[in-house]
Amino acid sequence: MNIKLLNEELELIKRQKEHVLKELEKYKDVMNYTLVQKKSNGCYQYYYREENRDLKYIASSERDIAKRLAQKEYYEKLLINLYTQEKTIERFVKKYNVAHTSESYEVLAEGKKRLVQPIIKTDKEFIEEWNNKFTGEQNTFDLTTSYTTNKGEEVRSKSEKILADLFDKHGVIYKYEPEITLFDGRKSYPDFALLNLRERKTFFWEHFGLGSDVGYSEKNLAKLAKYEKSKIVVGDNLIVTAEATGIGIDVKLVEDKIKRYLI
């Protein structure tokens, strides 16, 4: 189950809902009117009713009134549908956990656990395996300056400390500067590897702190191209943040990405 696609659909629904609500503002003067259609001799005739009052015929010269009422009714029905879809996806995403099947093993008595061979790794086993795969602090490049995270790690920049501390705050499992192998066999050291335990999916996070520097930007664009050839793709399993002259790291944006991709 691709939770990311569901979240993207949820964001689209929310944008559509906002658009419809804005459009409905244009129909305040006819909110209590209902359009009624009848068919006579193969032709449609239109009427409107205000609350419980009698029907009033809409002449062909007043067809714009019928159009407005029809459009209003469409928006109202669409809004109900959008609200329903929004709540359905939100409930599903909140409850869905790819690792829930491991609970069938976890709820067994300790003595019975010793007799059972589970077909799905427990969270504890999965995390241990992931930690063994992604060993942190593998980049041997000298730390000219360093900042200490809340977990006691030494990182290269203040922004990386902010990121690490936010991951820790939200309970995200991560490794700083793990070693990965790219498509051409060369090694690379992304700023962070992170685990979305709910989906049991690995993400990488790169922070570009000198976006205004042309040489730095060109170097990192080349890095992104190599990542993509290595199946590490922005918007899928690679998260990117950046800074430039006069534009610092946006903590709210970082937290939004953490909640969207990692929790």
Q: What is the pLDDT of residues 112-135, one digit of tens each?
A: 878 887 777 888 889 999 999 999
16 vs 213: CA distance, rounded Å: 38
pLDDT tens profile 192-221: 999 999 888 999 999 998 756 778 888 889
User: Rg of the chain's alpha carbons, rounded to an integer?
Assistant: 28
CB 192 within 8 A of CB 163: yes
Residue 49's beta-bridge partner residues?
A: 34
Question: What tokens appear for 14 in the block?
Answer: 């929310």
13 vs 88: CA distance, rounded Å: 11
Confidence at 249, pLDDT banded by 50, 70, 90: very high
Q: What percent of the chain has pLDDT over 90?
A: 68
Q: What domains lie within the chain, and their CATH numbers? A: 3-95 (no CATH), 134-262 (3.40.1350)
202 vs 44: CA distance, rounded Å: 59
129 vs 53: CA distance, rounded Å: 71
257 vs 174: CA distance, rounded Å: 15
Provide the 3-class DSSP secondary structure of residue 224.
helix
In the predicted structure, residue 1 carries a pLDDT above the cut 60: no
| pTM listed for this prediction | 0.61
DSSP state of 55: P
pLDDT of residue 161: 97
134 vs 128: CA distance, rounded Å: 10
Average pLDDT over residues 234-242: 93
CB 169 within 8 A of CB 70: no
